[in-house]
Amino acid sequence: MSQFAGRTIIITGATSGIGEATAYAFGREGARVAMAGRRADKGEQVARQTNDLGGEALFIQADMREDADIKRMVDMVVDTWGRLDFAFNNAGMFGPEAPHHAYDDDVWDEWMTLNLKGVYRCMKYELAAMMTDDRHDGPSRCIVNNASIMGQRGSIYAGPAYAASKHGVIGLTQQGAISYARENIRVNSVSPGPTVTEITAATAALPEEMKQKVIDDLLPIGRMGEAEEVAAAVLFLCSDGASMVTGQDIAVDGGQLAKL
């Protein structure tokens, strides 16, 4: 029997891309998967597929920009299954941004509310829920945040809000790790590089020669990552095999960060 069978995870931003792939990965392991997102039709579809793969799925329509939605999400999981073992705080947005000198305060506030404050709020309620189940012995509980390689350095492909928010996510991860280690709760993050999702559709649609040049310039491995590869890293971080891993950011980037 899988070590994840019957254990409970919340995945935000689960209606597409990395979140969807992670829901399926935990479903195959027999986990109870609560998936949150704004698109009810797609969310229900992902829930059905997760059930078909062997998991037990619950879709919760929620907006990670809204504190009340986040609290309701965590409460619903605990009310339904009685416990929270894992969380993957994946919801976020990426897109073209203006340079710093031309940046708009409203845009800054919107991006920071979802990408950083949303993760902070998720962690707040998730940690509180995990601590009500007093398990200082046995398998640890785990939170994984979705950061970005742009949370470790600047990039010509991102603007100030995205880079700052993702640096902040890594900071929240490290602070959470040292604050809750004695509660048997581990906190880590994953930092994907360019990954095939709806967000990177514009790159995928480039003529093949042009696309390959972009990829070769960025990625030593010579290809973009797959959402399933990020999901595998999340699965590992939540596993017993990562029981000594906390406060770490794992780059899933095909060597991009290592490239000077």
Catalytic site positions: 162
Secondary structure element (H or E) that encloses residue 33, with its range: strand 32-37
**Token pair in block for residue 172:** 């929240």
Asked if residues 191 and 251 have their Cβ atoms less than 8 Å apart, the reply is yes
- From CA 161, how far away is CA 142, in angstroms rounded? 27
Contacts of 164 (CB under 8 A, 6+ apart): 112, 116
The letter for the amino acid at 42 is K
Distances (CA, A) of 27 to 122, 132, 241: 22, 25, 19
CB 34 within 8 A of CB 26: no
What distance in Å separates the CA atoms of residue 48 and residue 44, rounded to the nearest whole number? 6
Q: Give the span between the Cα atoms of 128 and 146, in whole angstroms.
A: 20
Q: Which structure tokens are listed for 160?
A: 């100030």
Phi first, then psi: give them for residue 150, nearest 5 degrees.
-80, 0
Helix boundaries (H) for 144-186: 160-180
